[in-house]
Amino acid sequence: MTAPGLFDAILARGGAREAVSDRAWLDALLEAEAALAAAAADAGTLERSTADAVGRACTADRVDVTALAVDAAASGNPVVPLVAALRAVLRADGEDEAAAAVHRGATSQDVMDTASMLVASRAVAALTTDLVAAADAAASLARTHRDTPAAGRTLLQQAAPVTVGLRAAGWAAGLDDAVAALRAWRPTVQLGGAVGTLAAFAGDGRAVRAALARRLELDEPVLAWHTERGRIAALAGILGRAGAAVGSVATDLVLLAQTEVAEVREDVPGRGGSSTLPHKRNPVGAVSARAAAVAVPGLVAAVLTAASGHEYERAAGPWHAEWVPLRELLRTTGSGAAWLADSLGHLVVEPAAIEAALGVTGGLLLAENVTTMLRGRVADPKTLVTAAASTSLDSGRPFAEVLAEAVAGTDVTRAEIDAALDPSSHTGESAALVDDYLATRSQEDRP
């Protein structure tokens, strides 16, 4: 396992971190080179024994990743020194024919792009697992709190009642959609040779490419995509969508955990303390998930910027600019997913605080419901209720009392007003909506 950096435990949590490590990249590059030789044997252009020798050399313990990183500067990518290192290993083993077969017909970008697809697919699998865990935790909250009324908020102001379950179902739905998009993404092999013509394969290039795709379990393209970076851009967009889903939920959790709100809290003993304030219990999981989500759009932009302006058959610079932000995007999105799963998995809902929030406005939260109740019984109920709400706000008098005065002389009773101001009477179809959503989830295959 890679030694953690100073910020990694906070900003690089989860399985995606190891999936994009230097060791993971080296393993993917070696896997691509070994599979290329094996694919050539599958296509009948290389002896199987020669391909097997290349495969035996493609192990991480036979390549110095530090030396590889240093030597990459001379050629502008790590594949050139990797190929030299593999050939040196094979010659030292007396495998001269295999040494000559390493990387045959390919260009550096073929191997680098193919390795990037392997790395990305494994990182996506890791972060998807965490997103599923987060969505499952949110769905569980939706089920448990299906009927719990809570103050709905728009523009950070109380608006009308919802249920805790409906809010949690919304969290889960966004995460589920992000998972579906990630699972639909298809990593694709790269093999075109120096300028995408497969010329060095002497007519067998498409057969080798097909075999390479089969061996690595990657999709096979019709043409090389050296300068057509739509696949990378699409991945960036999907990761951006996942980051947005994480950020939306994490922001809600941070706000709901505020001292003045306190409708939820993270129950993780020993976590959330302050360097100076003994009483603090910060929602570290939600805060860290939000931190990752905040960083994701900038990384998406960097990947998309790198994807543009690729010239002719192979790009001078934009391709190279893609490597670091793509790696960071995978790691950062994965970190947000892992932290959110942790936060939701340890979330405690506080019913007393939720009930107290429902009463903060003295019934104004139910103004819409009162308007509905008065339809057909008073002239212009919207204007009447709006005026009563303003009077209540300006004077500090209970909303119910002001309403009772406003409807004096009609057949509307105080009991009807009080009933209309009961939050549980105005959560609409929240419970049914939660049921509908949970039913769609139960019909899905959720590994």
If you write DSSP's letter for every residue of 221-264 in order, what string do you get? -SS--SS-THHHHHHHHHHHHHHHHHHHHHHHHHHHTSTTT-SE
Task: Answer for the pair 117, 416: CB distance below 8 angstroms, yes or no.
Answer: no
Exposed/middle/buried for residue 280 (C-beta within 10 Å: 0-12, 13-18, 19+): exposed
Q: What percent of the chain has pLDDT over 70?
A: 97
Q: What is the pLDDT of residue 446?
A: 52
The CATH class of 360-442 is mainly alpha
Provide the 3-class DSSP secondary structure of residue 144.
Answer: helix
pLDDT tens digits, residue range 345-356? Answer: 999 999 999 999
At residue 10 the predicted structure's pLDDT band, cuts being 50, 70 and 90, is confident
Greatest pairwise CA separation for the chain in angstroms: 106
Q: What is the pLDDT of residue 14?
A: 95
Tell me the average pLDDT across 277-295. 89
Please name the amino acid found at residue 348. Answer: V
pLDDT tens digits, residue range 67-109? Answer: 999 999 999 999 999 999 999 999 999 999 999 999 999 999 9
Which residues have CB under 8 Å from 36's CB, separation 6+? 103, 104, 105, 106, 110, 111, 191, 208, 212
Task: Answer for the pair 230, 246: CB distance below 8 angstroms, yes or no.
Answer: no
pLDDT tens digits, residue range 364-390? Answer: 999 999 999 999 999 999 999 999 999
Q: Active site residue: 75, 274, 390, 425, which one?
A: 274
Domain definitions of the chain by residue range: 8-354, 360-442
The answer to whether residue 231 is catalytic is: no
At residue 274 the predicted structure's pLDDT band, cuts being 50, 70 and 90, is low
Instruction: Output the CA torsion sign for 102, 106, 112, 114.
Output: negative
Q: Does the global pTM surpass 0.75?
A: yes
Q: How far is residue 10 from each of residues 120, 290, 292, 399, measured CA to CA in Å?
A: 21, 11, 9, 47
Q: What is the pLDDT of residue 271?
A: 75
Exposed/middle/buried for residue 156 (C-beta within 10 Å: 0-12, 13-18, 19+): exposed
The answer to whether residue 314 is catalytic is: yes
pLDDT tens digits, residue range 49-69? Answer: 999 999 999 999 999 999 999
pLDDT tens digits, residue range 171-198? Answer: 999 999 999 999 999 999 999 999 999 9
Q: What is the pLDDT of residue 1?
A: 59
Q: Running DSSP on this structure, what letter comes out for residue 425?
A: G
pLDDT tens digits, residue range 303-361? Answer: 999 999 999 999 999 999 999 999 999 999 999 999 999 999 999 999 999 999 999 99
* Angle, CA of 137, 297 and 168, to the nearest 5°: 20
Placement of tokens 């109380």 in the chain:
158
Provide the 3-class DSSP secondary structure of residue 95.
Answer: coil
User: Quick check: do 8-354 and 360-442 share a fold?
Assistant: no
Stretch (H or E) spanning 384: helix 381-395
Q: What is the pLDDT of residue 2?
A: 62
- What Rg value do the Cα atoms of the chain yield, rounded? 30
The CATH class of 8-354 is mainly alpha
At residue 447 the predicted structure's pLDDT band, cuts being 50, 70 and 90, is very low
